[in-house]
Structure 1
Amino acid sequence: MQHTWTGGDLIFSYCTDGDLPEISRMLSKESVCRWLFFGPNAVEVTRSYFLPLIEGMQAALLEGRTPDHHVFTLRLHRTGEFVGQCALFPVDFSPGSYLVGYQIDDTHWGKGYGTLACRFLVYVAFAVLDGYRLNGDAVAGNTASLRVMEKCGFVREGLQRGYWHARGGCHDRVLLGLLRDDLPAGCIEPLAGAFSAR
C-alpha cells in the first residue's frame, strides 16, 4: 500500500503521531474551526481523537493491509511546511462509500490547497481504493468549502435544517455526493497522473 504521494506543490502522506502537534495547533484556531461543528480544540482533545486513527492506520500499513480510515497530512513539497490535513472515512454498511473531510491552516488559505486536497481524496477513493461513492457536507454558510467540492464534481443532494449546533447557534447542513459513475469516461487516468507515488 502506498504511503506518500505528490501533487501540485504538495506532499500527501498518511498521518503519523509526529504530525499531531501541527494538526493540534491548526485545530485550536477559531479561524480554522469557524465552520466546523467541533473546535477550537484543546491539544488533548485533538490528540485523543486522532491518535487511535493514526495507530490503526500505521499498524495496517506495517502489515501491508489497506487501512480502514485514511487520514493524510499535507505539506509543501519544497520546504515540508505543514499545510493541513484531509481524510476519507468509511460509511457504515456501505463498502466503497466514504465521507470526505479537509482542513487547511489559515496561513495557507486562498492558494487552491483545499481544492487540491479534495481532488486527491477523489483520486484515492476511486483510483486507489476502487470506491463507488463520496459523501461531503458543509455548513450552509461555508461557501468556500461548498465551492471546493463542486469544483471537484460533487453535486448538492440535500439540506438538513438546523443540523449542527455550534458557537451559539444552529446551522443548516448541505449534503453533497459524487458517484464514480458521475465522472466522465476516461477521467480516472488523468486524475491518477496528477498524483505520483514518492
Structure 2
Amino acid sequence: MHIALREVHDSDLPVFFRQMNDPEALHMAAFTAKDPADRDAFDAHWKRIRSSAGVLNRTVLADGDVVGHAAVYGEPGEREVTYWIDRAYWGRGIATAALRALLTEVPERPLHARAAADNAGSVRVLEKCGFRVGGHDRGFANARGEEIDELVLTLEG
C-alpha cells in the first residue's frame, strides 16, 4: 500500500467529518470536539486551522484514497503532532507511515504528542516514530464524558 501526504482539499472535509464521527474511533481518540456531530463547529474549526500559518495540515492517502489527516500545530518549542486514520484502515501501518512522512516535513524538535493512556495503538505508532513517554496527565475526554489518564510523549532532536 502506498502512503502519501498532500495538502488538505475542500473535498476532503466531508470524508474527515464522517471519519471523526465513528463511535469506536471517538472512544479511542477520547480527546475530541465536544459535539463531533456539529457540522458548523467542524467547518469553523477546519477553516481556522487551514488559514493558520502555524499549522501544517496534511491529508493522508492510501493508494490514492483519503484515509485520514495529520498535522503539526502549536507554539515553537511546544508544537504537537496529531493524526486521525479511518478505523477501516487501522492495523495496517498507515498511521506510522503517515506520521513518519509528516516528521520529514517538520524538521524542528522537540515535537510533542498526547494520547489516551489506554490507546495502545496510538502510543505504539508514536513510539515507532521515535516519541518517548515523558509524562502523565489527566484530562477531560469529551468522547468519554469523564477525566482519563493521558500520556505525554516527546520526540527529541
TM-score scaled by length of structure 2: 0.88
Q: CA deviation at 1:97?
A: 4.6
Identity %: 28
RMSD of aligned Cα (Å):
1.8
Instruction: Assess, with a 3 A threshold, how the Cα gap between structure 1 residues 96 and 158 changes in structure 2: closer, same or farther.
Output: closer
Superimposed CA distance per residue, residues 107-132 of structure 1 (whole angstroms, 9 cap, x where no aligned partner): 11111011112212221111xxxx12
Where 1:15 maps in the other structure, the secondary structure is: coil
Q: By how many angstroms is 1:16 displaced? A: 2.3
Larger radius of gyration: 1
Post-superposition, which runs of at least 4 consecutive aligned residues in structure 1 deviate over 3 A?
none
Matches within 5 A, 1:82-101: 82-91=66-75, 95=76, 97-101=78-82
Unaligned 5+ runs, structure 2: none
Establish whether residue 148 from structure 1 lines up as the match of residue 141 from structure 2. Answer: no
Mapped partners of 1:17, 1:51: distance in 2: 10
Equivalent position to 2:15, from 17, 22, 26: 22
**Aligned counterparts of 1:98 and 1:123: Cα–Cα separation in 2:** 15
Supply the distance in 2 between the matched residues of 1:24 and 1:99 (Cα, whole angstroms): 21
TM-score, with normalisation over the residues of structure 1? 0.71
User: 2:32 aligned with 1:38, yes or no?
Assistant: yes
Q: Which has the higher contact order (CA 8 A, sep 6+)?
A: 2
Structure 1: state its 5+ residue gaps.
1-7, 58-66, 181-198
What is the CA–CA distance in structure 1 between the aligned matches of 2:78 and 2:18, rounded to whole Å? 30
Deviation (angstroms), 1:165: 3.5
Are 1:155 and 1:176, in contact at CA under 8 Å, matched by a contact in 2? yes
Provide the C-alpha distance between the structure 2 equivalents of 1:107 and 1:172, rounded to a whole number of angstroms: 26
Give the superposition deviation at 1:26: 0.6
Number of equivalent positions: 153
1:96–1:104 distance in 2 versus 1, CA, 3 Å: same
Q: What is the CA–CA distance in structure 2 between the aligned matches of 1:133 and 1:107, rounded to whole Å?
A: 31
Q: Distance in 2 between matches of 1:89 and 1:41?
A: 20
